[in-house]
Amino acid sequence: MDLSEFEIPPQQNTSSTPLLPSQAPPNPTIQPALKPISYADIAKQNTPTPIFHNLPDPEKMGDYPVVTISSDALQRGLSYCKHCLLGRLDLQKVTIDRVRELALQKWRPTGNWLITPIGKGYLFIRFDNVEDMNKVWSTGSSWSFDDEPLRLSQW
């Protein structure tokens, strides 16, 4: 099978009136040659440059590399996860967009919230305020999304 089988054949002018110059098909010999652009060239344009100077330098402890995290960075991370839960859901049977839609309907959070898949069916669920998190956590594992149970644990 060839891709040309899926191409739409050019339409012929079946009317008796001649085509106007603006309606005439373009002459392929007059068109300028376009330089082909690869996918890699297009993707490179949108990729941000990584910032490595903010990363700590790795050290060695025995045969293993070790990275020391500053106490400020640790506190920022802990405060970001202060009102967070971890969830486990079979994302093969329900999409993440559907989970977000159903969570908005069922939980009705008053503040901002975020559900992020982090792999293997685990979800990172972040709330801006403790009331929304406690409302979801206090119900326990009785949350179900399209007949798929959501198992919750605290961060």
Domains of the chain, each with CATH number or no CATH: 83-154 (3.30.70.330)
* 129, pLDDT greater than 70: yes
Q: Where are the alpha helices (DSSP H) in 53-139?
A: 71-80, 96-107, 130-139
pLDDT given at position 4: 39
pLDDT digits (tens, 9 = 90+) for 33-82: 677 778 877 777 776 777 777 777 888 999 999 988 889 988 998 998 89
Nearest in space to 100 (alpha carbons), one of 141, 140, 155, 146: 146
pTM given for the model: 0.59
